[in-house]
Each structure stands twice: as C-alpha cells, then as structure tokens.
Structure 1
Amino acid sequence: MVQIVVRDNNVEQALRALKKKMQREGLFREMKSRTHFEKPSEKKARQKAEAVRRARKLARKRAQREGLA
C-alpha cells in the first residue's frame, strides 16, 4: 500500500512523490503490460531479454568495482 502525506496543502508536491513511488515499484510498467494480452512466446522472450539485461548490468557493476572497466 502506497501512502503519501500532503503537507501544507501542497498537492503538487504530494503528486510528484506519489508518481516517484509508483515508478520505483513498477506500477506503471505493470499497468501497461496488463492493458493488452501478451502471447506466451512473447512473454517468454521478454523475460529472457530482461534476465540478460540484468546479468549484463550486474557484470558491468562487478567489473567496475574490480577496476577492470
């Protein structure tokens, strides 16, 4: 459950904080993915691409930490 506190009637600031929290939790991505049906083969390909992306990012961070890059 996401909760945002509005202080001093500053609704714009509260909205910005809400959007930032929703973005961090991946709610926008999930809403977009639920609007249309995704074929199982497309879902599998997307998940595999995401896994590759995560692995490359982790390898990049590891190499940077060790001073290779």
Structure 2
Amino acid sequence: MLEGKDKRVQVLVRDNNVDQALKALKKKMQREGIFREMKLRGHYEKPSEKKAREKAEAIRRTRKLARKRAQREGLLVGKGRR
C-alpha cells in the first residue's frame, strides 16, 4: 500500500483540542489502511499464506459486491436498522 511513497497523514489541532485532533487522526489512518498495514507487517507472512489471504479477501470483496448489487435490484431484502 504505502511502499515507495512518502505519504504523510497530517491533522491540525484547533483551539488546543487534542482529543478532537487525535480522533480525526485515527479516522484518517483507518481510512488510509495504516492500521491494517501495521498489523500485517507485525510478523512475517509466508508467500503461500499471503497468496491464500489475498485470494480469500478477493472472494469476500466479490461476494459483498454481488450481495449489494442483489439488494439494489430487489432480489434480496436489505438489513434494516433497528
């Protein structure tokens, strides 16, 4: 994801409100996928494990898209909020 890029996440602190800035920083990092990247790099992953994980993620993404498409077309009943 971030290989070879000098990508920096920057958040401004307004009115000395560090809590709000920290919340915004965490949100940006989550969106950028930095937490996921840190978790993956925390330990060595064998190439075969990486391939299996990426394949499973692709299948999950495809199923999710198909499910959303079916909901839009009215073939499935969407989950309602309580």
Same fold (TM over 0.5): yes
Task: Report 1 or 2 for greater relative contact order, CA contacts < 8 Å, sequence distance ≥ 6.
Answer: 1
Q: State yes or no: 1:13 paired with 2:30.
A: no
Question: Is there any run of 5+ residues in structure 1 with no aligned partner, and where?
Answer: none
State the one-letter code of the partner of 2:69. Answer: R
Tell me which stretches of 4 or more aligned residues in structure 1 moved more than 4 Å. Answer: none
- Percentage of matched positions with identical amino acids: 81
State the one-letter code of the partner of 1:7. Answer: R
Residues 1-69 of structure 1 aligned to structure 2 (within 5 Å)? 1-69=8-76
Larger helix proportion, structure 1 or 2?
Answer: 1
Cα separation, 1, equivalents of 2:61 and 2:40: 19
What is the CA distance between 1:35 and its match in structure 2?
A: 1.5
> SS of the counterpart of 2:58?
helix
What is the CA distance between 1:19 and its match in structure 2?
A: 0.4
Question: Is there any run of 5+ residues in structure 2 with no aligned partner, and where?
Answer: 1-7, 77-82
RMSD, matched Cα: 0.7
> SS of the counterpart of 2:14?
coil
